[in-house]
Homo-oligomer: A and B are copies of this chain.
């Protein structure tokens, strides 16, 4: 009799389990994207976002009608870097398979070092230290580096290190990012889907050769830049959905990136 009850309980839970496995986990959705407006931060040499109002009024037909045109560089605001951005022959924005843009989030808090030193680069040893506390970065993760810079958005001086625009501003860029030795370690030792961070570029502000870009993009690992709200995610357990505008032949583009933080069970 006891066996029967235990069996019954097992079957009951299993059938419930099967159903749940076809659904999404219940939890909270977090928007990791800054809005596009004329305040959105772009590279000092790039074309900024512009919105042109076509209509925002009641029409002769009696109904309200709003519509706009817009223009921008691909690489500004919360955006995708497609691998072709720094590596010939690698994926363009439209070629990245959808399942490389969705995965388990590994959120690495590097804000203490990043806020203390605007030229900080997150390297191999930093990954090893993080893993010593949180465990190995699983295959197919999306790694998100948090330097604490999203709090400065949209203040260009605090976020970029300079509020100038044009070529002269480039030498004055100071913000943290991924060290090339960290990029090398990641591609050689871990199997991640993509990487993101809350600063303007996967190479730090003072980079002249963009090595971290080249190392990652050679391996078709896309990057997400100017990501917001990483302070609302746990170190592990969230799911990331990073869906870029599907620009044919694009080197990047506007990215809507959100995360699902499952309820505690």
- Known A25-B24, A35-B94; judge A67-B73 contact (CB<8 A): yes
Q: Which residues of B contact A78 (CB under 8 A)?
A: 246
- Known A14-B17, A86-B63, A245-B36; judge A22-B72 contact (CB<8 A): no
* A88 vs B88: C-alpha distance when bound (angstroms): 46
- Copies per complex of this chain: 2
Interface-facing stretch out of A114-122, A124-132, A249-257 = A249-257
- Chain A contact surface mostly: mixed
Query: How big is chain A's contact interface, by range?
Result: 35 or more
A33 and B69: CB pair below 8 A? Answer: no
Query: Does residue A193 face the partner (Cβ distance < 8 Å to B)?
Result: no
B65 and A74: CB pair below 8 A? Answer: no
Query: Does residue A7 face the partner (Cβ distance < 8 Å to B)?
Result: yes
Interface readout for A22-41 with B: 1 if CB under 8 Å, 0 if not?
A: 11110001110111110000
* A96 vs B173: C-alpha distance when bound (angstroms): 34
* A69 vs B87: C-alpha distance when bound (angstroms): 18
Q: Which residues of B contact A68 (CB under 8 A)?
A: 73-74, 247, 249-251
